[in-house]
Amino acid sequence: MSSSHHLFRRREAAAPLLLAACAGLGLLTLGADARAEQAPAFTLSGSAALTSDYVWRGSSQTQGDPTAQVGVKAAHRSGFYAQVWGSGVEFAPDTHASSELDFTVGWAGKLAPDWALDVNVLHYRYPSTTVDLNWTELNGTVTYRDAYWLSLAYSNEALGSKDRGIYSQVGARFPVSDALRFEAAVGHYFLDDVYGRSYSHGQLSAIWAFRSPFELRLTAHGTDRNAERIFGDSLAGSRIEAALQASF
C-alpha cells in the first residue's frame, strides 16, 4: 500500500473528528448567543430610605428634620436609563415646599475596562410650592475602577434662579470588607451669578451593608463660611446625617 493511500486513510479518519469539533463549537456559539438573547432588555431597580436629615451638596433641605425618600430606575442594556426619585423637603415658609421629585434621563456605561461614564439630564421639581422653584441640570460623572470619581454639573437656572451655576465634586470609596466601606468627597459650587459668591463643602461616610438589601449610612458634612452666608447657619455648617436604605 502506498504512502499516499495511508495519508488518505488518515485524512478520512480525521474528518469525522473535525466535523464533531466544528459541531461542538457551533453549539457553544449558539449557547452563548442564546444566553445573550435571554438577558433582559430592560431592568428595573429602586431604593427606599429613611434619613435623619436630607443634606444636598452640604446644606440641609429639611431644616435638619428627618424624611423619607424613594426612587425607581429603568435601564436598557444599551446603557440608556430613566429614573424618578422623590424626597420630603422643608424650605422657607413662604414657598410651602414639602416635596421634591427628580426626573433623570441619561446613559451610563464603560469607556474602558477601568473607566466608566454617566451623563444625564436631571430635572428638579417641587410640586407643592406656591412659587416656581423647578430647574434643570446637565450632569456628568467619570469613574475610575469603581473607586474614584469626578463629577461636573451645569445649569443656567441653578437652584430655581435664572442664572448660571456650576458644581464640581471629586470623591473616593475605600472598601474595608464586603459589608463595610468608607466614602469621602469634596465639592465646590460656583454660584457667583446667583448669590455673588461660591462655596465649598466636604463629606465623609461610613456605609455598613449589614443585611441584604439593607445598609446603614452615617455621614459627617461640613461647609465653609460662604455656604452659611448663602443658606444660613441652620442649613449649612457642620452636621451629621444617618440613613437606613433598602435597595431592590
**pLDDT tens for residues 141-158?**
999 999 999 999 999 999
Q: Report the alpha-carbon distance of residue 155 to residue 158 in Å, rounded.
A: 5
Amino acid, single-letter form, for residue 128 = S
Question: Quick check: is 2 in a domain?
Answer: no
Q: Is residue 20 part of a domain?
A: no
Q: What is the CATH number of the domain that holds 138?
A: 2.40.160.40
Q: Computed over its alpha carbons, how large is the radius of gyration of the chain? A: 27
Q: What is the pLDDT of residues 179-225, one digit of tens each?
A: 999 999 999 999 999 999 999 999 999 999 999 999 999 999 999 99
What is the grid cell recorded at 221?
A: 458634612
Model confidence at 168: pLDDT above 50: yes
Assess if residue 238 is contained within a domain. Answer: yes
- Say if residue 3's pLDDT is above 50: no
Query: Between the CA of residue 65 and those of 55, 161, 203, 204, 242, what are the distances in Å?
Result: 10, 25, 19, 20, 11
pLDDT band at 95 (very low <50, low <70, confident <90, very high): confident
Query: How many independent structural domains does the chain possess?
Result: 1
- Burial class of residue 92 in the structure, from the number of CB atoms within 10 Å of its CB (0-12 exposed, 13-18 middle, 19+ buried): exposed
Phi and psi at residue 213, to the nearest 5°: -100, 25
The domain containing residue 157 runs over which residues?
42-247
Residue among 98, 28, 25, 106 at smallest CA distance from 61: 98
136 in a structural domain? yes
What confidence score (pLDDT) does residue 128 get?
83
Q: Quick check: is 4 in a domain?
A: no
Q: Is residue 15 situated within a structural domain?
A: no
**Within a domain: residue 235?**
yes
| Mean pLDDT, rounded, for 50-58 | 98
The answer to whether residue 207 is domain-embedded is: yes
